[in-house]
């Protein structure tokens, strides 16, 4: 057998080769290995056969790598990913997972897992400054949710351009006082009972500007400083079922806050105060402006919500199911196939057919027919 074949066969033997490597780089250098080869081989031996507190995990990783017949190159590839993990235990779990993964899938699996591990990290309160050689530089503040919400309130009350506002707060005399933040604290009746029973410290209440306070803090907090306090029964609530106007009125907006305190798209934490009021069955298709048909969406998620057959986005949409307001993914039924949507559209067409002064019946899906122009929406509603 030629040298090349021998070399390839040995590299392919992976764990079996690693087992017979002498322990230290120096010993390998003495055998004639280059510095980088010596470092690579000794490190692999250390990982799979060296002393460790995690002998059980080490054995598992070895067995998995043997079963997958990982080559020396693949074992080294796995180490490039485990090196990115700070905690030894996490690194071992990742190593076992990758050792048990077919070689061609390792990059994909590792990238996904590293992303998860990073997402788990929680931000520590503090002020961080990033300096760049040519600027611009960055000053970022991390603190509890209420403080950040209040800071944002101060900036917004100073200037709509938040960077200018920050400059004014820092450098202009007489600005930067705490404004009367007009937000809302949500208390359900059962929570109120608990607060009154003295269990207030155990309850976390959400503020619609993204802040949080305990039930005890709520009792000592002046209502005037919050703006509104709404007591909402968990089951009952004011629900009007007629089609009033496109814009949600203040009461509807306030009631809506009781159900949602952020953008309703899963994973989005944009506080409700900075969201649009959104019609689940679109107003243009005959959707009502009532609590059941409204939710909060941030500007971005409102923009990509796939509810207009004339402008498909392919990004899924929000809809009220029996379980509450839910995200319908792009591979789910289109909104035009939903029974409530079809009912609303049929009702709208009937209304418009019996009211000729307002123009012909329209179908949102057909631009050529839309002669009746829907009323202009108020800026915060869609």
Q: Which two tokens stand for residue 162?
A: 């938040």
Question: Could you tell me the sign of the dihedral formed by the alpha carbons of 78, 79, 80, 83, in that order?
Answer: positive
Tell me: does residue 216 bind Zn ion (CB under 5 A): no
Instruction: Give the nearer residue to Zn ion in terms of CB position, either 298 or 361.
Output: 298
How far CA 114 is from CA of 77, 94, 355, in Å, comes to 14, 9, 60
Instruction: Give the nearer residue to Zn ion in terms of CB position, either 42 or 248.
Output: 248
DSSP structure string for 333-381: --GGGSHHHHHHHHHHHHHHHS-GGG-S---TT-GGG--SPPPPPPTTB
Name residues whose C-beta falls within 8 Å of residue 169's C-beta, 6 or more positions apart in sequence. Answer: 154, 155, 158, 175, 176
- Per CB under 5 A, the segment of 1-9, 168-176, 235-243, 298-306 that binds Zn ion is 298-306
Write down the least CB distance from residue 337 to Zn ion, Å.
24
Instruction: Give the nearer residue to Zn ion in terms of CB position, either 19 or 259.
Output: 259
Please give the residues from 7 up to 26 whose contact with Zn ion meets the rule CB under 5 A.
Answer: none
Instruction: Give the nearer residue to Zn ion in terms of CB position, either 298 or 345.
Output: 298
One of 149, 207, 285, 298 touching Zn ion (CB under 5 A)? 298
Name residues whose C-beta falls within 8 Å of residue 119's C-beta, 6 or more positions apart in sequence. Answer: none
Cα–Cα–Cα angle for 134, 139, 142, rounded to 5 degrees: 150
Instruction: Give the nearer residue to Zn ion in terms of CB position, either 246 or 270.
Output: 270
SS3 271: strand
Tell me: does residue 263 bind Zn ion (CB under 5 A): yes
Instruction: Give the nearer residue to Zn ion in terms of CB position, either 152 or 301.
Output: 301
Tell me: does residue 268 bind Zn ion (CB under 5 A): yes
Alpha helix segments (H runs only) across the chain? 3-12, 15-19, 25-30, 35-49, 55-67, 72-82, 88-99, 106-120, 145-158, 162-171, 189-194, 215-220, 223-226, 250-259, 299-304, 339-353
Write down the least CB distance from residue 298 to Zn ion, Å.
3
Tell me: does residue 272 bind Zn ion (CB under 5 A): no
Write down the least CB distance from residue 267 to Zn ion, Å.
8
Which residues, in sequence order, are bridge partners of residue 319?
Answer: 326
* Cα distance between residue 66 and residue 97, in whole Å: 13
One of 265, 276, 278, 279 touching Zn ion (CB under 5 A)? 265
The DSSP output letter for 196 is I
Tell me: does residue 301 bind Zn ion (CB under 5 A): yes
Tell me: does residue 148 bind Zn ion (CB under 5 A): no
Instruction: Give the nearer residue to Zn ion in terms of CB position, either 154 or 268.
Output: 268
Instruction: Give the nearer residue to Zn ion in terms of CB position, either 270 or 279.
Output: 270
Write down the least CB distance from residue 94 to Zn ion, Å.
31
Write down the least CB distance from residue 158 to Zn ion, Å.
25
Tell me: does residue 258 bind Zn ion (CB under 5 A): no
Maximum pairwise Cα distance, the chain: 97
Binding site for Zn ion (CB under 5 A): 263, 265, 268, 270, 298, 301
């Amino acid at each position: 057998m030629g040298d090349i074949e021998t070399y390839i066969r040995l590299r392919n033997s992976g764990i079996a080769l690693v087992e017979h490597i002498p322990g230290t780089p120096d010993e390998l250098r003495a055998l004639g290995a280059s510095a980088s080869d010596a470092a690579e081989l000794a490190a692999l031996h250390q990982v799979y056969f060296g002393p460790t507190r995690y002998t059980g995990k080490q054995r598992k990783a070895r067995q998995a790598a043997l079963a997958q017949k990982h080559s020396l190159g693949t074992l080294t590839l796995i180490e490039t990913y485990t090196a990115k993990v700070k905690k030894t235990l996490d690194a071992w779990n990742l190593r076992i997972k990758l050792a048990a993964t077919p070689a061609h899938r390792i990059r994909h699996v590792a990238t996904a897992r590293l992303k998860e591990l990073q997402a788990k990290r929680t931000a520590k309160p503090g002020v961080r400054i990033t300096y760049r050689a040519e600027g611009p530089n960055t000053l970022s503040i991390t603190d509890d949710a209420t403080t950040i919400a209040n800071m944002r309130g101060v900036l917004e009350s100073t200037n709509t351009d938040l960077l200018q506002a920050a400059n004014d707060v820092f450098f202009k005399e007489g600005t930067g006082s705490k404004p009367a933040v007009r937000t809302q604290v949500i208390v359900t009746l059962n929570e109120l009972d608990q607060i009154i029973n003295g269990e207030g410290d155990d309850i976390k209440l959400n503020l619609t500007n993204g802040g949080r306070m305990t039930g005890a803090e709520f009792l000592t907090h002046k209502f005037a400083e919050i703006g509104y306090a709404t007591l909402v029964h968990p089951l009952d609530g004011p629900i009007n079922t007629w089609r009033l106007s496109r814009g949600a009125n203040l009461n509807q907006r306030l009631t809506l806050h009781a159900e949602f305190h952020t953008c309703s798209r899963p994973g989005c934490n944009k506080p409700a105060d900075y969201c649009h009021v959104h019609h689940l069955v679109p107003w243009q298709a005959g959707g009502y402006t009532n609590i059941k048909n409204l939710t909060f969406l941030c500007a971005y998620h409102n923009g990509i919500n796939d509810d207009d057959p004339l402008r498909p986005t392919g990004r899924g949409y929000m809809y009220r199911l029996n379980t509450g307001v839910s995200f319908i993914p792009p591979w789910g039924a289109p909104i035009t196939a939903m029974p409530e949507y079809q009912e609303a559209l049929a009702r709208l067409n009937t209304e418009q057919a019996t009211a000729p002064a307002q123009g012909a019946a329209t179908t949102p899906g057909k631009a050529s027919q839309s002669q009746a122009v829907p009323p202009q929406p108020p800026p915060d509603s869609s």
